[in-house]
């Protein structure tokens, strides 16, 4: 059975299913499609499926031309019907893994996907989880569900974890050239998963187990949140000491060893960095270990939106203007530059705090023309001189590449720059930086 699956993969006869066609699943589906495999994209979102089958992409990193080419070659088909699983040789799960309000992991999307697989699975299939989760999910949650069919992992089917490493808007690293981590429940599962991904990804790194692979992903993002938390705390300290933190970082990064620059900002966003370390912290608590370093970093970063609002308030006070009823224009609401993704964006909390304090908030984001905060619909303003001159304060939250920041500085009474994008502006009399 193992040899038969290997031959199908090597001959490009294996049919691949991707459950979840978001920022992770769709680029992966296109990658397998370009590699000569027939791909079935499965998603519960009818609108997504309809758009894909019309040849329209909804993700910036995947051009519609790639979708149309795959449809023309008949190497991609999108569907909401999970019964397609019974025709597949490999099923890859790329579904969301959010947090409950209690800050506990929500693996319900994974469980739902696995239940669908269980219903239609057959002997000889490989199942791979890519969704970021806590160490043990593949073995402790997925494996019992799949083996409840009477089939045995490593003999009748294969199960592995391979953490997604998607960095939206990154022009240098994408799905194909980003090294891929593979960890199977059994040796056979690691072997077959490695072979599968080797067909479409340049570099594959095998590890000893699915738990190790799960931990790798959490280490990567915990490393980032801890360092971001540290530099945000350093920024708060420098503010008290009257020191320019940006100058400090620029000088420190000239050291050719032992230092990696991280930069302060209005908070952290996206699905990974704010969420993944909490998964790890939760799992540690289940084993009687308090991840104090991680929890402290998350706390520091979560306070940054309040610090930004304080800076806005201080800047307005210098002009004799209270925050209440002040016209505040927010530039950029996506969680990071050059994406149209709002997940966990610090801009949302900043806008919420400003509105609760009585500010009259408007926003501009070239990727997001509409925004909804607590059932209040906001429409983005036009990027023109009138919008900036009419505002009491302009706040740069997300530093999109296609925005003219010099124009903003020249036409605004007051600018709060949380990203240091105005560092080269000579006249900084109307600019407040973090």
Extents of the domains making up the chain: 2-211, 247-433
Tell me whether the CATH fold assigned to 2-211 matches the one assigned to 247-433. Answer: yes
Sign of the alpha-carbon torsion through 209, 211, 217, 218: negative
The HSE-up count of residue 306 (CA atoms within 13 Å, CB side) is 6
295 secondary structure, DSSP code: H
The whole-angstrom separation of Cα 156 and Cα 123 is: 5
Six-digit token string for 239 = 């503010």
List the chain pLDDT tens, one digit each, 434 residues: 899 999 999 999 999 999 999 999 999 999 999 999 999 999 999 999 999 999 999 998 999 999 999 999 999 999 999 999 999 999 999 999 988 888 888 999 999 999 999 999 999 999 999 999 999 999 999 999 999 999 999 999 999 999 999 998 889 999 999 999 999 999 999 999 999 999 999 999 999 999 999 999 999 999 999 999 999 999 999 999 999 999 999 999 999 999 999 999 999 988 777 888 888 898 998 899 998 989 999 999 999 999 999 999 999 999 999 999 999 999 999 999 999 989 889 999 999 999 999 999 999 999 999 888 877 888 899 999 999 999 999 999 999 999 999 999 999 999 999 999 999 988 889 999 88
Residue 42 backbone phi and psi in degrees, to 5: -115, 125
Sign of CA dihedral 206, 211, 214, 218: negative
Q: Can you give the pLDDT at residue 428?
A: 81
CA distance 308 to 236: 11
Q: Name the residue with tokens 């299939």.
A: 125
User: What DSSP character marks residue 153?
Assistant: B
Q: Which residues pair with 76 in a beta bridge?
A: 39
In the residue annotation, 272 being an active-site residue is answered as: yes
Strands 158-161 and 180-184: antiparallel
Element of type H or E holding 397: none
Inter-axis angle of helices 276-286 and 210-241, to 10 degrees? 110
Which residues, 6 or more positions from 203, have their beta carbon under 8 angstroms from its beta carbon?
A: 177, 179, 180
CA–CA separation, 418 and 217 (whole Å):
28
Q: How far is CA 17 from CA 6, 27, 197, 289, 296, in A?
A: 16, 13, 13, 38, 40
**Half-sphere CA count of 161, side-chain side, radius 13 A:** 29
CATH code for 2-211? Answer: 3.40.50.720
The answer to whether the CB of 105 falls within 8 A of the CB of 282 is yes
**Dist. CA 149–CA 139, nearest whole Å:** 16
Confidence (pLDDT) at 351:
95
Is 247-433 CATH 2.70.98.60?
A: no
* Candidate list 272, 318, 325, 393, residue with the active-site label: 272
Give the whole-angstrom CA distance, residue 183 versus residue 212: 7
At residue 60, the pLDDT reads 87
- Determine contact, residues 213/207, Cβ cutoff 8 Å: yes
8 Å CB contact between 48 and 67? no
- Beta pairing, strands 15-19 & 76-79: unpaired
Q: How far apart are CA 14 and CA 9, in angstroms?
A: 5
pLDDT given for residue 275 in this prediction: 85
Euclidean distance between CA atoms 428 and 409, whole angstroms: 9
């Amino acid at each position: 059975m193992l040899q038969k699956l290997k031959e199908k993969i090597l001959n490009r006869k294996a049919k691949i299913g991707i459950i979840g066609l978001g920022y992770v699943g769709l680029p992966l589906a296109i990658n397998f499609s370009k590699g000569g495999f027939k791909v079935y994209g499965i998603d519960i979102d009818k609108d997504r499926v309809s758009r894909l089958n019309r040849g329209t992409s909804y993700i910036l990193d995947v051009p519609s031309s790639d979708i149309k080419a795959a449809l023309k070659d008949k190497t991609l088909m999108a569907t909401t019907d999970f019964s397609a699983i019974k025709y597949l040789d490999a099923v890859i799960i790329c579904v969301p893994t959010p947090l409950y309000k209690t800050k506990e992991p929500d693996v319900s999307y994974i469980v739902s996907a696995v239940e669908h697989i269980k219903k239609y699975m057959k002997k000889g299939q490989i199942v791979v989880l890519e969704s970021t989760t806590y160490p043990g999910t593949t073995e402790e949650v997925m494996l019992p569900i799949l083996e409840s069919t009477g089939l045995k992992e490593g003999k009748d089917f294969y199960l592995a974890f391979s953490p997604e490493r998607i960095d939206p808007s990154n022009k240098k690293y994408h799905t194909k050239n980003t090294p891929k981590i593979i960890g199977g429940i059994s040796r056979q599962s690691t072997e077959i998963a490695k072979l599968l991904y080797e067909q479409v990804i340049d570099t594959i790194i095998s590890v000893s187990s699915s738990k190790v692979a799960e931990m790798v992903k959490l280490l990567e993002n915990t490393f980032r949140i801890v360092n971001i938390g540290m530099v945000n705390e350093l920024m708060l300290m420098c503010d008290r000491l009257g020191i320019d933190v940006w100058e400090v970082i620029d000088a420190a990064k000239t050291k050719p060893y032992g230092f990696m620059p991280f930069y302060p900002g209005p908070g952290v966003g996206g699905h990974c960095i704010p969420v993944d370390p909490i998964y790890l912290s939760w799992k540690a608590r289940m084993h009687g270990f308090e991840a104090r370093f991680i929890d402290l970093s998350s706390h520091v970063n979560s306070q940054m939106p309040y610090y930004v609002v304080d800076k806005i308030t201080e800047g307005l006070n210098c002009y004799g203007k209270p925050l209440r009823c002040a016209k505040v224009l927010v530039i950029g609401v996506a969680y990071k530059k050059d994406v149209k993704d709002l997940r966990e964006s610090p801009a949302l909390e900043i806008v919420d705090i400003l509105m609760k304090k009585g500010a009259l908030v408007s926003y501009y984001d070239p990727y997001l023309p509409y925004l909804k905060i607590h059932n209040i619909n906001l429409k983005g303003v036009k990027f023109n001189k009138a919008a900036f001159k009419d505002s009491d304060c302009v706040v740069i939250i997300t530093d999109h590449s296609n925005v003219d920041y010099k124009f903003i500085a020249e036409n605004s009474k007051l600018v709060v720059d949380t990203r240091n994008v105005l560092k080269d502006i000579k006249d900084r009399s109307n600019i407040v930086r973090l």
